[in-house]
Amino acid sequence: MTDSGHGRGPTNIRNVVTDSTVHYLVQIGVLNGELHLTVPPRAEEPRTPLGLAEERLARSLLYQWRAEADAWDMADPEPLAVRWVHSRTALGPGADLGGRGDRVGTMAGALLGLDRRRLLILGGAGAGKTTLAVLLTLELLARRLTRGEDVPVPVLLSLESWDAERVNFHDWLIARITEDHPGLPRVDGLHPARRLVSERRLLPVLDSLDELPEHRRIAVLGALGRQLGQEGGVVLICRTEPYRELVATQRDVLRVDSAIEALPLDPADVASYLHRARQPSRAAQWAPLLAELRSAPDGPVSRALSTPLMVWLLRRGYERAPAEPGELLDRGRFATAWQVEQHLLDRIVPASFPPLPPAPDRLHPPRRWEPERARAWLSFLARLMNRQETAELAWWRLFGAPLPRVLAAPALIAVGIALSLLFDLLLRSVAGSRHPFGLGTGVGLGVALAGAVRMAGQAWFGDETPTPRRRADPLRFARALRSAGRDGRLGRAWRLTVVIGGPPVILALGVFQFLAPATEGIALVGAALLAAYLMIVLAAPSDTVDAATPDALLRSERTSVLMTTVVLAPLLGVGVGLMDWSRAQNYRYAQADWTYALATWCGAGATFLLLSPWSRWLLARCSLALAGRLPWPLMTFLRDAHRAGLLQRTAGTYRFRNLRLQQHLAAKPGSGASAGPGGAGIPAPRAPDAADPLAPTSLPPASTWRGLTVRREPGSYLLSGRVRTVVLAHWGPIGALLGLHLVRTTVTGTWDRPASWSPMIALPALGVLVTLIGLLPRRRIELHVTDTFVAALRGRHRCRYEWRDVDEVAVRRVHVRGRDVRTHGIQVRLRPGAPLPPARYRGKDGWYLVQSTGTGRALPSDLAQALAELSGGRWRP
């Protein structure tokens, strides 16, 4: 609108309304002249069901990543100017998409102009790669929804949940869209994810490639190159050095159209950004620091603020009074960039939880957390994650902390005794007659039957049993059964036999019981088999992609516990009741007593409840909260830390915003162990130490290792001798039996009898005896490494792998049929189509055992050197 002023001609008023429907037009003031109203026609709504589903998905993603951008302080109208240049080192000749991160619209337009829309984003730790990916995602979504451009829907995902060696990329993408967005409108009665993927209506934006193990990075790049097709687009995010190493050693990698790499921030750009971002009332406090950035580009402050992560830490840490950013200019305290970085990392937690009341108009305002306690809680979580060697913060892994494990048995005893008193009161109040075997025996029978059903689930899924379970949906039973078959750790023949042959057997038992009602035990056997069959479905472990949030995954596990308690436990009780009824048909003087069936229900329900992942989570949460390690409302605290920008959320787990922040919080105060001097990224690995059991080359030569001898020749290495074997695999079943016995002893009310506790001594004694017996014989072992093969002998069993059939060789945890046997060993990952060894050597995730190394991961230095030299680059220390 232009106004010529009073007495200077007519006023021309022009109103342009876009993307709207005009209901009222109000003009305030005196109208002198013409009125021009232009209403461009609004883009028509999609008419096809697939188009409607595509728009719904785009809007859902827009809301999700807009909230994430707000939490990470990305919603700045003038963001930080991160400079991106064309990376010829990683790609070679290609389209130049370089630009500035504050002009993401130009970069998005250039991306859409590429033939295949394949972009590689590189940079150091904390360089802003994920931030650029989120901004690109928001820009593409805005172009589609507000400007009506025909662009694919960008879907930002973490690669950690994709097993590229087992799952096709398109199948994984379809599963992620289906699980994360189940409410999309159906197309021809089906979820539209498959149509959207097959018709190239999605643009995958894939993060966290550098956080995968090296063999998984290779598998991801190779699978993307083969499975994307000629027209498939993708945006891939990785740190620079890991990607360059992969490109230098691998041929089968993804071909992209353009690669951009982040440059260190220019101090003048940082000063301009901070000048815009600061509060006007605090201009005087920020002035000395801004002047230092402009005048001393090589100073410690300028070098520390070379990454967006550090700039974000500075802005968040000093945005409120009385914080003084000028204190960073004290060269006595901050003589190096590393000291500046450490100080900024120290300030971020108190700045993220200020002692200020939240805005009253927020729908879900965060709670007020004491900064010092919040720092202690986050430090405990970071140390636990480091101890578990993971970057994912999962609520079901809290049970791995030392305190819950120590309190597991006492808590199980206390809760079991309380349940026994409750069961006794309930059963005596409804008992019509005294059962000849006693109601306590019925509770014990329920415990035994539930334990057998749980063991069936453990045998099916192996080590995945402690993980949370997917939400039970009776309307999708066939789909859940297929998923259970896919996740099973048994052989394919066994899985097919159970899945296909189970229902006919159960149905035949039911028909036989109906035709011969006087036959005892048939109904109980059928009920137990059906319960085991349903347990395989209900106990199927959830991938983290099965839930959009950790809270949803926790609700799914609670639903599974409820289903096992109100479906499987009554089913076992009905089987026992029918057995009693059959006995009454055979012996006419006997009378069926359904109270015994109710007692069985109680025992089975207590077993399913007390030994579930949800009960372990409850124990971990309560014990760690009582000890002050974590807050009582833990999930609320994690949500608030996510809103504050400290955590990011990937499906069902959290992770720290940057690995540098996790390492800093995990370090002891004052240790300075979170990073090396002057480093702005992930700390450099320390030198191997002879006392470090994780260092793969920390032991002396093999001639002094466990009495073994070595013969080294050109192109050959032979390690041989006789050793005693430490047997540990039996301790897992013994622990499960101990837990089951604790449940049985307590809930049956026999906890006051000394004889009931004798198995608590007998079972551990049996475990010690088996371990000692395993130490008696000295078994012959050999490990032969040449430039063409690696072979091993252990007792009477021998294996051999040709290097041409091997992709990688490394020291890993040993799994036998999907179960962790608590030892380590040298293992190989075979190429597709390679000959497979016997079943005893088959491990987990495509790895196969060569030779066990015992409870530690350490190898003799000359053995590690031989594997590195003779394997042709396949050795992964």
Tens digits of residue pLDDT in 771-823? 888 777 778 888 899 988 999 888 888 889 999 888 888 888 787 765 666 67
Which bin fits 653, alpha (ψ -120 to 50), beta or left (φ > 0)? beta
- 65 pLDDT band, cuts 50/70/90, is confident
Over residues 78-93, mean pLDDT: 67
Peptide bond into 322 cis (omega under 30): yes
What ranges make up the beta strands (E) of 474-586?
A: none
Domain containing residue 32 = 1-42
Q: Is 670 or 532 the better-scoring residue by pLDDT? A: 532
The answer on 484 and 347 residing in a single domain is: no
Q: What is the pLDDT of residue 631?
A: 93
Is the pLDDT at 332 greater than 80? The verdict is yes
Assess if residue 823 is contained within a domain. Answer: yes
Percentage of the chain beyond pLDDT 70 is: 74
Q: In the sheet that 716-724 helps form, which strands lie side by side, from edge to edge? A: 709-713, 716-724, 778-786, 789-794, 797-802
Could you tell me the CATH number of the domain that includes residue 63?
Answer: 3.40.50.300
At residue 179, what is the residue type?
Answer: E
Tokens of 321: 């009074």
Q: What is the pLDDT of residue 1?
A: 39
Over residues 333-339, mean pLDDT: 88
Q: CA 392 to CA 396: how far, in whole Å?
A: 11
Q: What is the pLDDT of residue 629?
A: 93
Q: What is the pLDDT of residue 470?
A: 62
pLDDT, tens digit (0-9, with 9 covering 90-100), for 697-723 = 344 444 445 567 888 888 888 888 887
The answer on 272 and 255 residing in a single domain is: no
Is the pLDDT at 855 greater than 80? The verdict is no
Query: Per the confidence metrics, is the pTM higher than 0.75?
Result: no
Over residues 91-97, mean pLDDT: 54
Q: CA 706 to CA 700: how far, in whole Å?
A: 11
Lowest model confidence (mean pLDDT) among 16-20, 75-79, 164-168, 656-660 = 16-20
Q: What is the pLDDT of residue 674?
A: 45
Q: CA 48 to CA 51: how far, in whole Å?
A: 5
Lowest model confidence (mean pLDDT) among 72-76, 127-131, 185-189, 639-643 = 72-76
Lowest model confidence (mean pLDDT) among 268-282, 333-347, 430-444, 588-602 = 430-444
Q: What is the pLDDT of residue 546?
A: 44
Q: Which of 577, 599, 621 is the last residue of a domain?
A: 621
3-class DSSP state of 547: coil
DSSP, res 516: -
Of 264, 347, 286, nearest to 678 by C-alpha is 264
- 678 pLDDT band, cuts 50/70/90, is very low
What is the CA angle 455-456-461, rounded to 5? 95
Q: Which of 592, 621, 650 is the last residue of a domain?
A: 621
Q: What is the pLDDT of residue 9?
A: 47
When the pLDDT of each residue in the chain is averaged and rounded to a whole number, the result is: 76
The answer on 561 and 458 residing in a single domain is: yes
Over residues 189-210, mean pLDDT: 84
What is the CA angle 127-132-138, rounded to 5? 160
What is the CA angle 600-603-609, rounded to 5? 135
The answer on 707 and 563 residing in a single domain is: no
Q: What share of the chain is helix, strand, coil (3-state, %, to 5)?
A: 50, 15, 35
pLDDT, tens digit (0-9, with 9 covering 90-100), for 373-406 = 999 999 999 999 888 877 788 888 898 899 999 9
556 within 8 A of 540, measured Cβ to Cβ = no
- 675 pLDDT band, cuts 50/70/90, is very low
The answer on 290 and 255 residing in a single domain is: no
Assess if residue 99 is contained within a domain. Answer: yes
What Cα–Cα distance (Å) separates residue 645 from each residue in 13, 139, 279?
A: 45, 21, 20
Assess if residue 749 is contained within a domain. Answer: no
Of 772, 780, 763, nearest to 727 by C-alpha is 772
Lowest model confidence (mean pLDDT) among 166-175, 278-287, 664-673, 861-870 = 664-673
**Selection from 37-46, 334-343, 351-360 with the highest mean pLDDT:** 334-343
What is the CA angle 237-159-814, rounded to 5? 130
Assess if residue 641 is contained within a domain. Answer: no
| Residues facing 783 on adjacent strands | 719, 792
Q: What is the pLDDT of residue 480?
A: 56
Assess if residue 833 is contained within a domain. Answer: yes
Assess if residue 243 is contained within a domain. Answer: yes
- 694 pLDDT band, cuts 50/70/90, is very low
The answer on 613 and 466 residing in a single domain is: yes
DSSP, res 128: S
Indicate the number of domains in the chain. 5
The answer on 257 and 276 residing in a single domain is: no
Is the pLDDT at 681 greater than 90? The verdict is no
3-class DSSP state of 73: coil
Percentage of the chain beyond pLDDT 90 is: 6
Q: Is 121 or 66 the better-scoring residue by pLDDT? A: 121
pLDDT, tens digit (0-9, with 9 covering 90-100), for 462-514 = 655 567 776 555 445 555 555 555 556 666 666 667 767 777 777 777 777 67
Of 270, 307, 318, 314, nearest to 291 by C-alpha is 270
The answer on 537 and 443 residing in a single domain is: yes
Q: CA 647 to CA 634: how far, in whole Å?
A: 14
Over residues 38-51, mean pLDDT: 60
Tokens of 307: 């990454």
301 within 8 A of 328, measured Cβ to Cβ = yes
The answer on 539 and 456 residing in a single domain is: yes
Over residues 24-45, mean pLDDT: 48
Assess if residue 630 is contained within a domain. Answer: no
Of 825, 829, 799, nearest to 812 by C-alpha is 825
The answer on 215 and 273 residing in a single domain is: no
Assess if residue 536 is contained within a domain. Answer: yes
What Cα–Cα distance (Å) separates residue 172 from each residue in 156, 166, 206, 223, 483?
A: 13, 10, 12, 12, 13
pLDDT, tens digit (0-9, with 9 covering 90-100), for 858-877 = 777 788 888 888 888 788 76
Q: What is the pLDDT of residue 872?
A: 81
Lowest model confidence (mean pLDDT) among 93-107, 301-315, 575-589, 721-735 = 93-107
Q: What is the pLDDT of residue 24?
A: 43
Is the pLDDT at 623 greater than 90? The verdict is yes
Is the pLDDT at 13 greater than 60? The verdict is no
Over residues 436-443, mean pLDDT: 69
Lowest model confidence (mean pLDDT) among 54-58, 80-84, 862-866 = 80-84
The answer on 175 and 125 residing in a single domain is: yes
The answer on 347 and 202 residing in a single domain is: no
Over residues 266-287, mean pLDDT: 84
Q: What is the pLDDT of residue 517?
A: 66
